[in-house]
A and B are shown apart, each in its own frame.
Chain A
Amino acid sequence: MDDDLEPSLADAVREHLAFCESCAKVCEDLAAIVDLCKTEPEAIVPPNSKALWCRINNIIESEVKPEPLPLPQESRRQIWRFSLPQLAAAVMCIALISSLLTVVALRNYSTPTDTDLVSRSADNQTLVERLMAKVGLVDTPQKARERRIAEQEAAIEYWTRRVQERRATWDARMRDAFDKNLNVINESVNDYTLILQQNPEDEITGEMLDSALDEKMDMLRKFAEL
């Protein structure tokens, strides 16, 4: 039909078509289609090719896409559906409550500024602190002090061991100075401990004990580095 075949091969095809009816029929159909395409090309275009392609595309996509999840039930969605005024009112309420809480907390916490919780007595505890201490959320001043002293004593024990390891290498002058000054600190620590046993709420003595223990810790640490 297109004259693409070699002459010998074309002769052989013609011979076959001459006695094969079915192939001759196919050949005739093909020749008719080719002839139509050449003479009337618009006749073979579908009436709405774009719509046809859209349909084909939809079919392809529907085969590729996973199945959509089942939609949530209508009743559940209705519970969380708020109108805009409702949402605005809710936000304002939350802001108001949190502001009030912040103001109350700040007023109670900011009053005492120059004393540490460790060394504070029950007299200058704020209302919030007392409430929290009763509930057990924070330590009372005495408990906080006891905890702090326990931490300091643990550190002092550690540094004392380190000093004992190093002390043999010091000269006599260094050993004398160390012992003399450690005694001075220990005297103060003992005095303050006795006072606190008699009056556990003595704020100044609590502070001084804390300071003396810090001083002892610092001295031990410095001498342990020798």
Chain B
Amino acid sequence: MQFSLVSVYGRSGHRKTTILLLMSVVFFMLFTIAANGQRRFSKSYPAGQSVRLELVNRSGTVTVEGWDRPEINITASLEAPAAVVQPQSLSGKIVINLVRDNAGRGDVGNVNFRIRVPYYTAVDIETLIGNLNITNIRSAMVRAHVSAEGDITLTNITAAGVSAENVTGDIFFDGTLQQGGYYRFTSMKGNINIRIPFTSSFKLVATAPSTRSINLGAFSGGTMKPLGDGRRIVGQFGDGSASMQVTNQRGAIQFIQR
């Protein structure tokens, strides 16, 4: 086919065809971007020995991944109408606050973040609507807070302080507990699943007042005892060096052995 075109139109005809094809590709690319209204944001910062990430999003999915590099890499895809994203780097602390930076702008599209941080970073992220995912973090603190609805997934986490809280949505924690650590998981409506090693030792206050569905699985031994007609389970597993508080107002709580 190409041969016949070349033979019909000659060299100049072939060039015109190529230009037309390229133009159509560019046109379709521009059209696609305009139709989706998406913009991309990307920025990197060098990281020191002590790093902290603070992110407040309005809506969208946030994924934070720990990596073995002394660098913080932020990428975000911004749906139309695009939000203002202005990260600030303040002596080892990266602060991104989309609520503050877009205050008074009622109509702002989703912003989906993918942030890669050194694995030893203290992570504190919150959003009004959207899922929060944090993975591969080994630091002093991990906090994930959804003010309204969204799932929270924390995987491969080793931190002395972990807090996950939402109104509607599931919470999943997969990690290890540290001695003297404090772990708090709170949801109004959703399922809370906690996957920890059998060698964990902790004091537990687990409350599910509506469903009374608290499944401790392999961790039901020790001194665990039900209170308030099964609405709450209180007790200690192992030597109880860590403290864990799990509250699910209208959902179930389940422990899984890692």
Contacts and interface: CB of A to CB of B under 8 A. Distances in A.
Interface of A: 114, 166, 168-171, 173-174, 177-178, 180-181, 184-185, 187-188, 191-192, 202-205, 207-208, 211-212, 215, 218-219, 222-223, 225-226
Interface string B194-221: 0000000000010101100000000000
B103 A181 contact: no
A203 B147 CA distance: 26
A222 B145 CA distance: 11
A7 to B, nearest CB: 97
B149 A226 contact: no
B205 to A, nearest CB: 7
Contact of B148 (A178, A202, A203): A178
B167 A219 contact: yes
Would you list the 7 A-B pairs with minimal beta carbon distance, nearest first?
A169-B106, A222-B147, A181-B148, A204-B228, A181-B167, A171-B107, A177-B129
Contact of A204 (B107, B188, B209): B209
A146 to B, nearest CB: 20
Interface string B164-180: 00011000000000000
Q: Which of B106, B167, B186, B205 has the most CB of A within 10 A?
A: B167
A218 B227 contact: no
B147 A223 contact: yes
Given A170-B106, A180-B168, A188-B188, A218 B147 contact: yes
A192 B250 CA distance: 12
A208 B209 contact: yes
A171 B106 contact: yes
A158 to B, nearest CB: 17
Interface string B218-256: 000000000110011000000000000001011000000
A226 to B, nearest CB: 7
A171 B105 CA distance: 10
Contacts of B231: 204
Interface in B4-47: none
B207 A169 contact: no
Given A205-B209, A226-B99, 12 more contacts: A114-B205, A170-B107, A177-B129, A177-B149, A187-B250, A188-B188, A211-B247, A212-B188, A222-B99, A222-B128, A225-B99, A225-B103
A38 B174 CA distance: 115
Contacts of B104: 169
Contacts of B93: none
22 contacts: A168-B106, A169-B104, A171-B106, A177-B128, A177-B129, A177-B149, A180-B168, A184-B168, A185-B188, A204-B228, A204-B232, A207-B207, A208-B209, A208-B247, A208-B249, A215-B167, A219-B147, A222-B128, A225-B103, A226-B99, A226-B103, A226-B106
Nearest to A171: B107
A178 B147 CA distance: 9
Contacts of B61: none
B148 A219 contact: yes
Contacts of A211: 186, 247, 249
B207 A204 contact: yes
Contacts of B149: 177, 180-181
A184 B207 contact: no
A204 B206 CA distance: 11
Nearest to A170: B106
A166 B185 CA distance: 30
A113 to B, nearest CB: 11
Nearest to A195: B209
B138 interface: no
B189 interface: yes
B191 interface: no
A192 B209 CA distance: 10
A109 B160 CA distance: 29
